[in-house]
Structure 1
Amino acid sequence: MKRFFFLISLLYISTIAFAQQNQNVDFKACNASLRFDVPQEKVIGNVTYTFEVQNKKPDTIYIDARNMQFSDVKINGKKSGWVNSATALKLYKGYKKGANTITFSYSAQPKQSLYFIKLDCPECQGGKEQQIWTQGQGKYTSHWLPSFDDMNEKVIFGFDITFDKDYTILANGEKTFDEVMENKPLRKVSYQMKRPMSSYLVMLAIGKYKKSLGSISKSNTPLEFYIRPDDVSKIEPTYRYSKQIFDFFEEEIGVPYPWDIYRQVPAIDFLYAGMENTTSTIFSQDFVVDSIGFNDRTYINVNAHELAHQWFGNLITAKSGKHHWLQEGFATYYALLAERELFGEDHFNYELYDMAERLQMVSASKTDTIPILSEEASSLTYYQKGAWALHVLRKGVGEDAFRKAVKNYLEKYAYKNVETDDFLAEINKVSNYDTEDFKKRWLESSVFPVKEAVDILNENKFMQLYFKLGELVDKRFKEKGPIFKQILQSDMYYPVKEEVLLQTAEVPFEDKKELITLAMKSGNVKLRQAVARTLTTIPDDYYEEYKSLLEDESYINREIALNVLYSRFPEKRKELLDLSDEWVGFNDKNLRILWLTLAYATPEYREAQKADIYAELQLYASPRYASKVRQNALSNLLYIGKPDPIVWANLVNATLHHRWQFAKFGRESIRKLLKQEGYREFFEGIMPDLPEPEQRKLQQLLDE
């Protein structure tokens, strides 16, 4: 009990100390010179901070630093009093009231937030793929750079980075220097920010990238789009509409883009969809698509969301997690406004409806009972309920007044920290809207106001029709068939037509054949996909028509159709496999891995190549590939079910992957196998040949 109170006291003292530091110490600028020991996955740096001691001189000044080693710590050019803990560099002597400078050297082997990607990729240029990138969302930058976990401490950052001369080196701000070092295979690149930002928005990205020829916004901001050399042909579909979104935001928000440059760069095995680092968004390689993949999966929404954060989150930053919706709700909503600009009102309202359905579901099930204004709220609440709250507010206030309030809010608190009442105060200045009632209904209640949302959606004619169509679910097909035909023959937005097909899923084929034919002849990839998903019984004489889905400009349509036809028409399997044996699909090789699996499982099909087919699947499951490829291949190898120590070893390796989704897949797959007879002995048999960290992880799973 005493130890418990001691720990609580330490936490309390630490919290008070940091609060006092914010009141009395203002860190102004950071200049960091960085290099990397790639084999050891280590970052090594020399750092200079300038700071000002105001008011009362604190006993200790803290710089957050997780598990780092320090040397040559000097304040104002002299050796200082300092101590290093597992979480911070603590300064207790050597600083004075007024301006100060601290310099030090450090090294770190970060367990998170900075990642070294090293793939022996047979298909990559040079046969290898190496990247270094950061993900500091929240308060994680202090794992690789001595900085500040508190979002309220804003600093002007500058970087000098040294790395292999053949690599592109990116960081926040404008590039001020780039030169290959004399007589060394290294280059030094410098970047400099001009305005302050929170530490969690610091970024690095190093890899072999090509940059687009360049784009300039209407306001003359340079826009830089990066891509891996192997993906140069994908740069246009990946970054499609980027300039339009940028120009739209500047006009819609009414405040010019607050930084000097904007760049975007994809990262292999990135943890999330994207991260809005100041001036430089890093996003997942999964969104790098060709012209076919663009029809299935686009970067547009993530692109707009992360760009909106340059204003909402980076220019102004929430004071605490309680007000996190001021970042995520705004970014989600403005991304929808960008999509409305690109794709129209019907698309915009349907996306709002889709969000509302998810929010209503969790609200009704009471699985998410935490309101927006809470540090414990879910992502769904911060992002999507936050977006809906803003839409309600915009509707209630009026679009012009809302724009004026947002503009005033951003200009008043630029480069500062904010809370919800700061924003609502600006709403109050431009309208008589009852923000207190709004706050209670939308921000302080865990209930999603369904009726209010539906009333707003019903202002759109497309949504009126969509809701009326939903009322026909229980009607007999003969009654609603003529209406469905009329809808499919119209130019209505495709979700209405999708709903028609969903409502006919259980209707006998002959009864709905005319509707299916209309949908298939529409040429709309999404509508044809709805046919693929809902047509569970395919008559023999419809084989050729359904087979046309294999020619669609859609990797999803091809995958669904190949699976369905392979299962429904065993006599056509050789024909289907011959037709699809050159397919690859998305970055996760969905079509290639499906083909390998079906080809291996098909008796009397390319028997002489079976060993090579299986070996290719094994290769994709190995650490030589990105986690999405590996997971796809491992899932299919587990489906095949061949006793294979290589597969089991790759599953164990997956459990230690930095990408938590893949690590979870590895753990859960092993747990399932351990429930089957004989697999405990199989895993125990491979353990001696595994690296020590993998042995420890496997033993944990065996001991559960």
Structure 2
Amino acid sequence: MKFLCIFLISSLAFAQQARQLQYVDFKTANASLSFDVPQKKVMGTVAYEFEVLKKKPDTIYIDAKNIRFSNVKINGKTAKWTASANALKLYKGYRRGKNKVEFRYEATPKQTMYFVKDGADDQIWTQGQGKYTSHWLPSFDDVNEKVVFNISVSLYGEYTSYTALSNGILKNIEDSVSDFRVGKHFYYKMDKPMSSYLVMVAIGKFRKWKMDSAGNTPLEFYLRHQDSAKWAPTYRYSYEMFNFLEEEIGVQYPWGIYRQVPVLDFLYAGMENTTSTIFSQDFVVDKTGFNDRTYTNVNAHELAHQWFGDLITAQSGRHHWLHEGFATYYALLAEQELFGEDHFYYELYQMAERLQQAAKTDTIPVLNEKASSLSFYQKGAWALHVLREGVGHDAFRTAVKAYLEKYAYKTVTTEDFFAETNKVSGYDTEAFRRRWLEKPGFEIEEALGLLKKNDFMGQYLELGNLQEKPFAEKKELFKNILESKEFYPVKEEVLFQMAEVPFEEKAGLVRIAMESGNLKLRQAVARTVTTIPPQFFEEYRSLMDDDSYITKEIVLNVLCSKFPDRQAHFLDASDTWVGFNDKNLRILWLALACSAKDYRPAQKEAYYAELQDYASDKYESGVRTNALANLMYLGKPDTVMMKNLVNATTHHKWQFAKFGRESIRKLLKKKGYRLYFQELLPQLTDAEQRKLEAILAES
């Protein structure tokens, strides 16, 4: 019943907003923000200019979740108003035509605005999509209400050394001294309207790099100062992708400036706030990390959203594929420009595999607000590929350009897009709509037909059909493939098909892959050669020197497991490794060093303490997850570890909170751990106690 009540309240709220749009049009917002960081509080003044269009409504609503208001004025006079848990409600003082409402507010947001520690420093950042900006800024949860947002941010005291980012052009930075308080004020201005969920703030100790695109759009790139050496690999191809998307889409970038900033413990891979993308710190990589994990696809995806989602916005969740399907597909087109047609088709193939597998249980079609993310993103992208191939590339480009220009700064439906497509092609969009958007499942035969247009993909699919064929019958073919210049995934497939073949039979082929120097193929060897004969030991050992943090992790694990008598040698050779931002290599090393018999016994206590430290709330959730997983693997009844697991359940990042809950449940199945956790309760915060008590009560 609780969920039903929430749904009814939400539905009523959106119905109110929809009715309000008929009578009231909010035009411009000027908001000034400041923060009480220790209390995780935001304070502000806001002035909205709005127009009453027809008859005056009895009430005007501004969405505001648990926000405290004061000094509410309309057209310069004290207004009649009330505030509920969900909205500021204005009753009198407005007139037909132009109006202005001003107010002060305070909020301690439980979501959407996050106060995160960065060691001794702080970060503040926002995430509006799916959560509602109205938790930290009185605004509009209905995407159809588009407003020109101008945000100014004031920082005081120690925070004047920080950088504040928001939407639009940074018009000015001012210093001030008043009431014995030093302040720095950042003034951002937008020229065009956008939906409230795209409003952003990101505050931290950032360094800026900048350049201009080929069309003279200013591009700004931010990183923490300590990550300065990672700028080039992190933002690689940004300039090329911006120029490509602007040309391919055919509509000039609409917002005047584009900036990107990574933040700690972000909820998702990235978020396309208008002019200012926020993305996860996980994608900040050095040149070795770039070989394993890159920001390239997320970078292109969020940039494409500046057109598809920001410039035009779907009227409702039913049409959400117009955001995510387009952004996913245009990111693939950008990667095709960078990495070639084979890469493009291989990515489409991998999507098709995921979609075909998901279709066994996912019965909700794309044109449904309850569709899965996989459907909105990847089936939406596949649908666009089918449409583009059916309509023709030039006609598709013409339709997209006309669609964006006609509905710029407005909201749209799928019908709006198809109307422009129908103007340039006789392609049956109705049949396409039924097949790809309204029907559940995945049209695998149609997809395979399009994939086979690519020669590499045809060979890859044929190779997959040889899975059950005896190795002796395909050995010569495998040799030819490994020695060819074919795109690496087909060679990876050869190695995966040989995984269970005895080493003596496949040794020559494995050595061809090793001698290729290709990091992906060598990594496939690391994964698939699980029995390492003496004559191959040194070659396998050489994988420890590859420029890949993933390969290093695989190989260190395998070698320590398969050759315990030489474990000290492997650990000595890797004791300075760190790895990704999540310290995957350092944490693995510490766990292995703690468990290795007779290895540096005088330092084991310090190594264990270092692992415990990485599990604490001083670190990002990725580091903590790795540390906690390894501490659990070591199996010591460790109350410090258990306390950090409970703390994880209160984290704002749902993935980490889920990890904490599931890990506690696993431990509770072991003898004695229920008592350990019960004895922890008095040492926990109120929030931690509530989370742990709920888990303990489950069984």
TM-score normalized by structure 1? 0.97
- Structure 1 residues 550 and 57, CA gap change in structure 2 (3 angstroms): same
Give the drift of 1:362. 1.4
Partner of 1:242: 238
Q: Within 5 Å, which residues of 2 pair with 1:481-520?
A: 481-520=475-514
Aligned to 2:167: 172
Contact 1:73 1:105 in 2 (8 A): yes
In the alignment, structure 1 residue 426 sits paired with structure 2 residue 420: yes
Distance in structure 1 (CA, Å) of the matches to 2:8 and 2:511 = 72
Q: CA deviation at 1:7?
A: 9.0
Query: Number of aligned pairs?
Result: 693
Q: Distance in 2 between matches of 1:9 and 1:540?
A: 68
1:453 counterpart letter in structure 2:
A
Q: Determine if the alignment matches structure 1 residue 329 to structure 2 residue 321.
A: no
Cα distance in 2 for partners of 1:427, 1:91 equals: 43
Residue matched to 1:416: 410
Once the two structures are superposed, residues 155-210 of structure 1 have per-residue CA deviations (whole angstroms, 9 ceiling, x without a partner) of 00001111121001100000011022236442101000000000000000000001
Partner residue in 2 for 1:309: 305
**Per-residue deviation, 1:9:** 7.9
Q: Following the alignment from structure 1 to structure 2, what is the Cα–Cα distance between the partners of residues 638 and 6?
A: 40
Give the aligned partner of residue 154 of structure 1.
146
For residues 269-305 of structure 1, give each alpha carbon's deviation from its aligned partner in whole angstroms, at most 9, with x where no partner exists: 0000000000000000000000000000000000000
2:188 to 188, 191, 196: 191
Aligned pairs for 1:374-385 (under 5 A) are 374-385=368-379
Report the AA paired with residue 633 of structure 2.
Y
Shift in alpha-carbon separation, 1:75–1:558, aligned structure 2, 3 A: same
Could you tell me which residue of structure 2 aligns to residue 52 of structure 1? 51
Shift of 1:541: 2.1
Task: Report the Cα distance in structure 1 between the residues aligned to 2:91 and 2:303, rounded to whole angstroms.
Answer: 40
In structure 1, distance between residues paired with 2:422 and 2:64: 42
Read off the aligned partner of 1:343 and give its amino acid letter. F
Distance 2:450 2:606 in 1: 58
User: 2:665, 2:130 → 1: CA distance?
Assistant: 32
Distance change (3 Å), C-alpha of 1:166 and 1:432: same
Between the aligned partners of 2:356 and 2:125, the Cα distance in structure 1 is: 37
What letter matches 1:653 in structure 2? Answer: N
- Cα 1:275–1:15 change in 2 (3 A) is closer
**Distance change (3 Å), C-alpha of 1:499 and 1:5:** closer
User: Contact between 2:153 and 2:187, CA under 8 Å: does it hold in 1?
Assistant: yes
Matching of residue 76 in structure 1 with residue 70 in structure 2: no
Question: What SS does the corresponding residue of 1:62 show, helix, strand or coil?
Answer: strand
Shift of 1:643: 1.2
Q: How far does residue 129 in structure 1 lie from its aligned partner after superposition?
A: 2.8
Aligned-partner residue type, residue 153 of structure 1: E
Q: Residue 631 of structure 2: SS of its match in structure 1?
A: helix
- 1:542 Cα offset (Å): 1.2
Alpha-carbon shift at residue 56 of structure 1 (Å): 2.0
Determine helix, strand or coil for the equivalent of 2:349.
helix
For the pair 1:659 / 2:656, whether they are aligned, the reply is no
Answer whether contact 1:323 1:420 (CA < 8 A) is retained. Answer: yes
Please say if 1:588 is aligned against 2:582. yes
CA 1:414–1:695 in structure 2 vs 1: closer, same or farther (change >3 Å)? same
Sort the Cα spacing of 1:185 and 1:541 in 2 relative to 1 into closer, same or farther, 3 A. Answer: farther
Structure 1 residues 240-249 or 602-611, which shifts more?
602-611
Instruction: Answer yes or no: is 1:527 the counterpart of 2:521.
Output: yes
Contact 2:362-2:441 within 8 A present in 1 as well: no
* Aligned residue type for 2:21: N
Aligned residue type for 1:276: E
Residue 206 (1) aligns with residue 174 (2): no
1:114–1:135: 8 Å Cα contact kept in structure 2?
yes
The yes-or-no answer on 1:446 pairing with 2:440 is yes
- Shift of the alpha carbon at 1:20? 1.6
Question: Residues 14-163 of structure 1: matches in 2 within 5 Å?
Answer: 14-119=13-118, 121=119, 128-163=120-155
Separation in structure 2 between the aligned mates of residue 207 and residue 16 of structure 1, nearest angstrom: 38
RMSD: 1.4
Where 1:49 maps in the other structure, the secondary structure is strand
- Alignment partner of 1:475 is 2:469: yes
Runs of 4+ aligned structure 1 residues displaced above 6 Å come to 3-12
Q: What code does the residue aligned with 1:380 have? A: L
> Shift in Å at residue 677 of structure 1?
1.2
Q: Which residue of structure 2 aligns with residue 124 of structure 1?
A: none
2:189 and 2:122 map into 1 onto residues whose CA distance is 25
Which residue is equivalent to 1:125? none
CA–CA distance in structure 2, aligned partners of residues 349 and 9 of structure 1: 44
Letter in 1 for 2:153: I
Aligned pairs for 1:283-298 within 5 A: 283-298=279-294
Q: Contact conserved, 2:63 with 2:86, CA < 8 A, in 1?
A: yes
Task: Give matches, 1:323-402, under 5 Å.
Answer: 323-363=319-359, 365=360, 367-402=361-396
C-alpha distance in 1, partners of 2:14/2:350? Answer: 41
Q: Following TM superposition, by how much is the alpha carbon of 1:616 offset from its aligned partner in structure 2, in angstroms? A: 0.4
Give the distance between the partners of 1:479 and 1:11, measured in 2 at CA.
Answer: 63
State the Cα distance separating 1:14 from its structure 2 match: 4.1
Contact kept in structure 2, 1:43 and 1:109, CA below 8 Å:
yes
Stretches of structure 1 that go unaligned for 5 or more consecutive residues are 122-127
Q: Percent identity?
A: 64
Alpha-carbon distance in structure 1 between the residues aligned to 2:128 and 2:98: 28
TM-score (norm 2): 0.98
The alignment partner of 2:370 has SS state of coil
| Cα shift at 1:476 | 1.2
Unaligned residue ranges in structure 2 (runs of 5+): none
Q: Which residue of 2 aligns with 1:437?
A: 431
